[in-house]
Structure 1
């Protein structure tokens, strides 16, 4: 993702490391994987990753990957961000999930909001914005302008270190019609994180706390009546594409969310495969001839099937990312709902391949001792099982979204 605008020519802030490259930031994520593996249990017990990990993410530039260069970010492309996300998830699914679901919404903010809003939202440089797509609570016009928002939103991953919160509230119904949604972004001083996370089967350390707001004021420039991220129409252009001269701030949003969810699945499957490889090296077969498992024909087949399926899923994901980028680069007219849903469908099947590789080959043949509480494979299995319950990936995408894709043939 390369902006047409040069920061120095406009006397705008530079990022902390002006010369940082996408390859370098990905390498930094890869270097953290061994430590994240060791600290998975700690993250689960706390409910979110530690402050020193958060500070490392700050120093590594992770929270600025998608922040526009205009505001002191790196404005790297979506592929760089998703590769970092996938790598962190490979080390610790909870940590990678919490980071990804917090930092990813810089793309939405930089795409959907105007210059005044973005200057305010990105003024701190690092942008961590938990969000949820499910409308909740209420938003009513405030007497002096803007909106008064009340409500509680669940599953706000990234909340512990959040600088902002993006969500949808319901506006008052009008003339008997159902209430419409209000998309808004609230600064940290307008919301409170509840201490209600960590009791699910998996992703216990993902910082997916609920957020509550009580009579919070949202100014007009940080609110968009009638807008929903998941079906936003980008075919007429977006404020971000115009402001930054960057097509990736004009891409479709549902597909980006699907790409993000798919990267979580691939990262988890990669983590499971890492552990399975260790088991093949370190353990022997159960019956004679007793040999290291990697020398046994059956384990060789099971391992290779898993490698092929996970590799295929990752290849499909990376291809879909490139398709998303090319579609955005073609101009607003190409960013159709059909293209959005087609890429989402690809992501669904890639994520399913990861699940199948784990459930059909890795888990059944790893042995019950590998699934003792606290073992890495046991944790990844719980995390992947919890990902499978994600409403967007496992309920709405294979039903509502796919039906809508087929209906688009009539237009």
Structure 2
């Protein structure tokens, strides 16, 4: 599918999400069932298969890969942390597409059997074809107590997608629209106290007890961090493809004028970038295997240090991809190759946009390193010195 996605990058950006026939092709291929439990008609193929599909799609079209990945990935989290009653309902069709946001927003009022939720949540990647939405809001656990996060699942009929995406620097076709809920009823079994990224698997999970698959017992935070790095690898591989085409079709700028593919400098720039991207891919797929191996060991393997070590691998993988594109491919491709609409120009914009994502720009860029050191040396939270 990737070659066809390359050809449709421009129209995907104009539409702000991938086409309906692309969505139907993904459905037919079973992409939305990869992480859904077999109990509900899913394939339960595992994190490694899902991540490889994400890389392949993102390599063809970063916006499409981003929208698919951040819509389909959260089937794993939902199957891990939510109770059987909720899973029986949300996975009833065998497909689950749900953008998830980490920033608590809106409000929730307690009513009999659940909550009345109101609010708007931004950056809901995957929303155009989503079956559900996973968000956070703040609620007080008891009257007068300070508000705390609560994660909830909202079925499609409860929310509305806003037409507010497409003017950003990059990833203009990623379907990252805002979602708004007006007096939406969310039943209790569709809610969990706390923040999804801080969910502890130490005592086991509903997913493992229900499905018997250890991958439904892994740490949600580390899995979310792996997603960012996998997307960066896909984007960088697409940029390398574009550079390869230039190597084959263009000549050097200075004498002796030869095809770039025969020029030692271009050979070096290509080789250096290719090595960095291959290293990033090997690192992140290795991290995915580590995550799966930890799942097999059991919840005791998901220590804070282990989670932050995987975050560190994710960070370095993104950095390698960025340095390959920004340091070697973009500056040596030539200005005509980065005109608006050129594939290399688009991949640079998309990777630049990835750098503004809070998961990377805030958490992976700074907080994760400190948390890794604190976990390794046993420094309690809140102790600065």
Structure 2 match to 1:16:
none
d(CA) in 2 for partners of 1:242 and 1:175?
33
The 5 A counterparts of 1:169-318 are: 169-172=137-140, 178-225=146-193, 227-318=194-285
Matched, 1:59 2:32: no
Q: Do the aligned partners of 1:41 and 1:374 also contact (CA within 8 Å) in 2?
A: yes
Matched, 1:105 2:74: yes
Structure 1 match to 2:383:
none
d(CA) in 2 for partners of 1:132 and 1:342?
23
Structure 2 match to 1:347:
314
Residues 25-63 of structure 1: CA deviation (Å, up to 9, x unaligned): xxxxxxx01100000000000000000000000000000
Shift in Å, 1:124: 1.2
Q: Secondary structure at the match of 1:74?
A: coil
d(CA) in 1 for partners of 2:43 and 2:324?
35
Structure 1 match to 2:355:
388
Q: Secondary structure at the match of 1:185?
A: strand
Q: Secondary structure at the match of 1:333?
A: helix
Runs of 5+ consecutive residues of structure 2 not aligned to the other structure: 379-385
Structure 2 match to 1:45:
14
Q: Do the aligned partners of 1:272 and 1:362 also contact (CA within 8 Å) in 2?
A: yes
Q: Which moved more, 1:34-43 or 1:333-342?
A: 333-342
Q: Secondary structure at the match of 1:237?
A: coil
Q: Do the aligned partners of 1:273 and 1:362 also contact (CA within 8 Å) in 2?
A: yes
Shift in Å, 1:96: 0.6
The 5 A counterparts of 1:62-211 are: 62-142=31-111, 144-172=112-140, 178-211=146-179
d(CA) in 1 for partners of 2:146 and 2:54?
37
Matched, 1:406 2:378: no
Residues 74-129 of structure 1: CA deviation (Å, up to 9, x unaligned): 00010100100110000000001001100000000000011111000100111110
Q: Do the aligned partners of 1:265 and 1:384 also contact (CA within 8 Å) in 2?
A: yes
d(CA) in 2 for partners of 1:91 and 1:178?
46
Structure 1 match to 2:286:
319
Q: Secondary structure at the match of 2:184?
A: strand
Shift in Å, 1:140: 2.0
Residues 355-377 of structure 1: CA deviation (Å, up to 9, x unaligned): 00001100000000000111111
Shift in Å, 1:398: 2.4
Structure 2 match to 1:9:
none
Q: Do the aligned partners of 1:127 and 1:164 also contact (CA within 8 Å) in 2?
A: yes
Structure 2 match to 1:373:
340
Residues 233-263 of structure 1: CA deviation (Å, up to 9, x unaligned): 1111110011111010000111111111101
Q: Secondary structure at the match of 2:215?
A: helix
d(CA) in 1 for partners of 2:163 and 2:177?
7
Report the RMSD for the aligned CA atoms in angstroms.
Answer: 1.1
TM-score, with structure 2 as normaliser? 0.96
d(CA) in 2 for partners of 1:209 and 1:340?
30
Aligned length: 378
Structure 1 match to 2:305:
338
d(CA) in 2 for partners of 1:118 and 1:400?
33
Residues 249-308 of structure 1: CA deviation (Å, up to 9, x unaligned): 000111111111101000000000001011011000111111000111111111110011
Shift in Å, 1:214: 1.1
d(CA) in 1 for partners of 2:55 and 2:105?
30
TM-score, with structure 1 as normaliser? 0.90
Q: Do the aligned partners of 1:140 and 1:172 also contact (CA within 8 Å) in 2?
A: no
d(CA) in 2 for partners of 1:81 and 1:280?
31
